[in-house]
Structure 1
Amino acid sequence: MPVDHAALIALGERLGAQAWPGFLVLLALLTLVAGIAAWGFEHLRRRRAAQPEPGAGLLFGGLAIGAAAVLALAWVFAEVAEGLGNGRPMGLLDETISHSVGVNTPPGVREVFSWLTHLADPITVVLLCTGVAIALWLRGHRGFAAGWVAATVGNALLNHMLKHIFERARPVHDFGFAQVSGYSFPSGHSSGSMVLYGMLGYLGLRMLPARWRVPSVMAATAVIVTVACSRIFVRAHFPSDVLAGLCSGAAWLAICIASIEYARHHRGTDRR
């Protein structure tokens, strides 16, 4: 069925014009949902006995299987990416939204996003990854330290490989809020924030005092949403880049957490 390009352009302009208030609604909604989910996890957790630290062999075995699965999915994503070229439906919608966001977003809002986007810069990721890993190791949580580093480094490698599979150019803009280079799809900041702060939320649920566990997950969710959306507002990425980055990051995060939990469970079983 032929695609109505005029309708796509009209839709993109409307979405871009409402991007700023839409972000605030999305931020509040997803943060609330994350808080409810974390509260439910805490409620179930109190009924279960404590499990030990994850064993490294089981942990990295699970991560290797997960990495292979994510790379296999890249070829499926390639079919979706066919709609991202010039003049194609998804590409046209992306370009229209990006242009409309640039026209309709107040300069002050865009400047704030240009600062917040640094929360997932490579240097921020490296420093936070190193600091948290050292803290976990020194406190005796060596299995969690290994899982934390594997999650962060693994996501960086996966995102690099995915970018070179798709080789999509970045949006063109005429303001200096974001100076970026390299390929655009999927967004490394989006996937990086999902894994980095998602893992921090997970560790918070596992290690923080009870009163801080739910707030830590809500804070992590707020940072993930803000960083991801910032990439659109500073026009470093198209919306589909950000969505793809969040999806790939969420997939890798789920694999990492599942691997850690699997290792913890089976290490506990082996010791009984």
Structure 2
Amino acid sequence: MTDSVQTFALATLMAQHPMAWWLAGMATGSMLALGGLVGLQALRRSGKRWWPTALDPLQARWVLVGGMAASACALLLGGTVMAELAESWRDDSARGWGAFDDAVAVGLQAGASMAALQLFATLTHLGDKWTLSAVAVAVGAALWLRQYRLLAIGWMVAMAGNALLTRVLKSLFERVRPEHLHGVATADGYSFPSGHTSASMVAFTMLAYLATRLLQPQWHAPVAVLAGAAIFTTGWSRVVLQVHYVSDVLAGWVLGGVWALCTVLIMESISHWRRAARPLHATG
């Protein structure tokens, strides 16, 4: 009984104060993005320390195998979390995600102001399919034309792969969306995981990663902060607009985050391999 009361209280608090949760979420997202930046910098420092300046072919293979193994572990962990979310949602008890999702949705249906709905109806376009498709093509073309072929391929694989995974998972789970009768925003199709959320997670994470490869160091932290804020904003907008449940958005963050992480790990491995193998080719 205590767990169900606490769950309902938290859900009510979220529904009653969407703007406060948005500000707190953006701050949290920005801090997490900065943490990711620090982790990436540590990975690059450790790569230079662990791997010699010149690798033989066998060592080069192990660099790539290490990146792929880390990616596989991330995919396994992300899949486990998503499965837990889906299973808990199916749980009929008052402690599952289903009860929490319903409580937040009902609270927002009853109490979300028209001003808040209109604001988030605008902000949610950060994750629109056509918006991110245009960004994907523009960034990919720019990278390719400037001879950043590996970055261009990684970027397009990240964006296209996430879109495909999201579509497959939606068809697999076939979850119905919450009712949204306010008329400010509408959405069709299945709900789990949130496509806006996963797509924006991949797009803004990868843009922040590209910034670390192409921009001066003083720009890395500001771009990471903006990316973290945009990622949370897009996901939270889907909840406030009542076109997704909270667990849909959490699953979208997990899916997009894991897919972007896998892409970055493999791209970093290939970059280290190329950099270390270059002296061998130069002297061969």
Q: TM-score range by the shorter chain?
A: 0.7 to 0.9
Taking the aligned partners of 2:272 and 2:266, their CA distance within structure 1 comes to 10
Residue number in structure 2 paired with 1:185: 192
Q: CA deviation at 1:207?
A: 0.6
Residue number in structure 1 paired with 2:249: 242
Residue number in structure 1 paired with 2:60: none
Which secondary structure does the structure 2 equivalent of 1:184 belong to? coil
1:26 is aligned to 2:31: no
Q: 1:228 aligns with which of 218, 222, 235?
A: 235
Worse-matched range after superposition: 6-15 or 133-142: 6-15
Q: 2:158 aligns with which of 141, 151, 161?
A: 151
Alignment of 1:27-46 (within 5 A): 27-35=26-34, 38=37
Matching residue's letter, 1:248:
L
Which of 1 and 2 has greater Rg? Answer: 2
1:99 is aligned to 2:106: yes
Length-normalised TM-score, structure 1: 0.84
Taking the aligned partners of 1:65 and 1:161, their CA distance within structure 2 comes to 23
Worse-matched range after superposition: 143-152 or 39-48: 39-48
Residue number in structure 1 paired with 2:86: 81
The 1:177–1:70 alpha-carbon spacing in structure 2 relative to 1, beyond 3 Å, is farther
Which secondary structure does the structure 2 equivalent of 1:202 belong to? helix
Contact 2:120 2:241 in 1 (8 A): yes
1:142 is aligned to 2:142: no
The 1:17–1:67 alpha-carbon spacing in structure 2 relative to 1, beyond 3 Å, is same
Deviations 1:14-38 (A, max 9, x none): 3322332122112123324534653
Taking the aligned partners of 1:216 and 1:204, their CA distance within structure 2 comes to 7
Residue number in structure 1 paired with 2:169: 162
Which secondary structure does the structure 2 equivalent of 1:179 belong to? coil
Deviations 1:181-230 (A, max 9, x none): 11101111111000011100000111112332221111111111110110
Matching residue's letter, 1:105:
A
The unaligned stretches of length 5 or more in structure 2 are 54-62, 280-284
Matching residue's letter, 1:38:
L
Which secondary structure does the structure 2 equivalent of 1:181 belong to? coil
Residue number in structure 1 paired with 2:57: none
Q: 1:252 aligns with which of 253, 259, 262?
A: 259
The 1:37–1:149 alpha-carbon spacing in structure 2 relative to 1, beyond 3 Å, is closer
Contact 2:212 2:220 in 1 (8 A): yes
Worse-matched range after superposition: 82-91 or 138-147: 82-91
Matching residue's letter, 1:103:
A
Residue number in structure 1 paired with 2:97: 90
Length-normalised TM-score, structure 2: 0.81
Q: 2:201 aligns with which of 194, 206, 214?
A: 194
Identical counterparts, % of pairs: 37
Taking the aligned partners of 2:91 and 2:177, their CA distance within structure 1 comes to 12
Alignment of 1:116-131 (within 5 A): 116-131=123-138
Deviations 1:134-156 (A, max 9, x none): 11011110110000000000000
Contact 2:26 2:233 in 1 (8 A): yes
Contact 1:67 1:252 in 2 (8 A): no
Residue number in structure 2 paired with 1:218: 225
Which secondary structure does the structure 1 equivalent of 2:171 belong to? helix
Which secondary structure does the structure 1 equivalent of 2:104 belong to? helix
Q: CA deviation at 1:231?
A: 0.5
